[in-house]
């Protein structure tokens, strides 16, 4: 009897883990495709990404309901309880990642009104690649529970921030060159910010995993804010 309960509980947990993995893969793909749509002015792909978001909303609700049911039914203790709560938290982060991807996709039309220089797109792509690698890695850690790998992520956090700030600066400069660039570049600025926030969600997930596995708060001071707030681009003053 007892084994039965234990096995069935494990199955419930495993099911939640699988749904979470499905959300992770889906969210990654949405962001990847949103950035592709942006770079290639592909309105059709953008539309697909926007429609794809529904899966994440639905699956988050499903995970929430099942997780709460699981707690009520099984009354798990300590580590198990943390794991279920962790599922709720991580699914909320992944749902937000999908929203950010959708928001990028929604800007595709406005951005492609005017042709933007290739270097901007390359910068966005590189930023997205970095943020998605961060997300993928953190989800791998979730699957393998090897929290010692989380400490290596901090470097990439710094890289994402640095790349975002430099892209921010480049976009501003480009806006100053020609007022016709202002509206589309503003949208690109928000796209960059969205990608940077994906890195932030990856960090949230890392913290949750650390907490789930160890029962402690992650000891590393995290850089939660981007550094672009003090970017002031100097104009050539006559």
State the binding string over 164-203 for its own copies (x if CB under 8 A, else -): --------x--xx--xx-xxx-xx-xx--x----------
* Residue 114 or 152 with smaller CB distance to its own copies: 114
| Residue closest to 128 by CA, chosen among 171, 188, 182, 183 | 188
**Element holding 175 (H helix, E strand):** helix 153-177
Interaction residues for its own copies, span 197-236 (CB under 8 A): 217, 224-225, 229-233, 235
Minimum distance, C-beta of residue 141 to its own copies, in the bound complex (Å): 20
Q: Are 94 and 24 in contact (CB under 8 A)?
A: yes
Position among 5, 51, 110, 162 found at the interface with its own copies (CB under 8 A): 110
**Contact between residue 168 and residue 192 where contact means Cβ atoms under 8 Å apart:** yes
CB atoms within 10 A of CB 104: 30
Q: Determine the Cα–Cα distance for residues 124 and 131; give it in Å rounded to an integer.
A: 10
The answer for residues whose C-beta is within 8 angstroms of residue 129's C-beta and 6 or more apart is none
Among residues 78, 155, 219, 238, the one that binds its own copies under rule CB under 8 A: 78
* Binding positions for its own copies, 19-58, rule CB under 8 A: none
Q: Which two tokens stand for residue 101?
A: 């991807």
Nearer to its own copies, 110 or 140 (CB): 110
Distance of CA 174 to the CA centre of its chain: 27
Residues that bind its own copies in the complex, under the rule CB under 8 A: 61, 68, 71-72, 75, 77-78, 81-82, 85, 88-89, 92, 99, 102-103, 106-107, 109-110, 113, 172, 175-176, 179-180, 182-184, 186-187, 189-190, 193, 217, 224-225, 229-233, 235
């Amino acid at each position: 009897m007892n084994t039965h309960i234990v096995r069935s509980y494990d199955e419930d947990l495993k099911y939640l883990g699988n749904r979470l993995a499905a959300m992770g893969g889906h969210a990654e793909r949405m962001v990847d495709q949103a950035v592709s749509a942006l770079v290639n002015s592909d309105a059709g792909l953008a539309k697909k990404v926007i429609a794809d978001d529904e899966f994440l909303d639905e699956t988050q609700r499903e995970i929430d309901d099942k997780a709460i049911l699981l707690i009520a039914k099984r009354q798990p203790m300590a580590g198990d309880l943390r794991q279920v709560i962790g599922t709720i938290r991580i699914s909320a982060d992944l749902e937000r990642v999908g929203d950010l991807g959708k928001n990028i996709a929604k800007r595709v039309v406005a951005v492609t009104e005017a042709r933007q220089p290739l270097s901007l797109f390359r910068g966005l792509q590189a930023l997205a690649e970095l943020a998605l690698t961060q997300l993928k890695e953190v989800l791998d850690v979730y699957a393998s529970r090897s929290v010692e790998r989380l400490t290596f992520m901090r470097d990439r956090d710094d890289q994402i921030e640095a790349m975002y700030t430099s892209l921010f600066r480049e976009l501003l400069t480009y806006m100053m060159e020609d007022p016709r660039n202002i509206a589309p570049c503003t949208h690109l600025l928000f796209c960059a910010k969205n990608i940077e926030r994906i890195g932030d969600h990856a960090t949230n997930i890392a913290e949750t995993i650390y907490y789930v596995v160890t029962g402690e708060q992650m000891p590393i001071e995290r850089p939660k804010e981007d550094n672009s707030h003090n970017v002031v681009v100097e104009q050539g003053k006559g």
